[in-house]
């Protein structure tokens, strides 16, 4: 190998290593978010046509996911026996998608 080729190979190897570390860190972050052990606060609103699934749901998105009306959603939230997941603190209210989906699965059993 010539010197420029060798240094290019070294740079590519470094980039591959950095990329692998980024993937591992991202996977750990997603696992923490899905487990409800971390919060995701975007710096700006995600576009609604984004292919990335949102981890935090708005009231409207949560109602749509549950396939219930607004009054039923209000009753579910108010009834302690329903054990509906608590929203993430802050305004506007958001719910963790993973928690809502697990709650919904538990109700289907």
Give the pLDDT of the chain (109 residues) as one tens digit per residue. 566 666 888 888 888 888 888 888 888 888 887 887 777 665 455 455 555 567 899 999 999 999 999 999 999 999 999 999 999 988 889 999 999 999 999 987 6
Asked if 89 and 49 sit in the same domain, the reply is yes
Classified as helix, coil or strand, 61 is helix
Domain range for 21 is 1-38
Asked if 2 and 32 sit in the same domain, the reply is yes
pTM of the entire predicted model: 0.51
Residue 60 parent element (H or E): helix 59-66
Asked if 12 and 49 sit in the same domain, the reply is no
Asked if 105 and 63 sit in the same domain, the reply is yes
- CA distances 24 to 38, 50, 55, Å, are 17, 23, 19
**Distance, CA of 35 to CA of 31 (rounded, Å):** 6
Q: What is the tally of structural domains in the chain?
A: 2
């Amino acid at each position: 190998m010539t010197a420029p080729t060798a240094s290019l190979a070294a740079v590519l190897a470094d980039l591959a290593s950095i990329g692998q570390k980024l993937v591992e860190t991202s996977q750990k972050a997603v696992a923490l978010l899905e487990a409800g052990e971390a919060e995701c606060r975007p710096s700006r609103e995600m576009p609604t046509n984004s292919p990335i699934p949102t981890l935090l749901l708005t009231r409207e998105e949560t109602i749509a996911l549950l396939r219930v009306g607004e009054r039923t959603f209000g009753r579910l939230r108010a009834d302690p026996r329903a054990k509906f997941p608590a929203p993430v603190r802050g305004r506007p209210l958001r719910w963790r998608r993973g928690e809502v989906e697990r709650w919904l699965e538990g109700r289907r059993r």
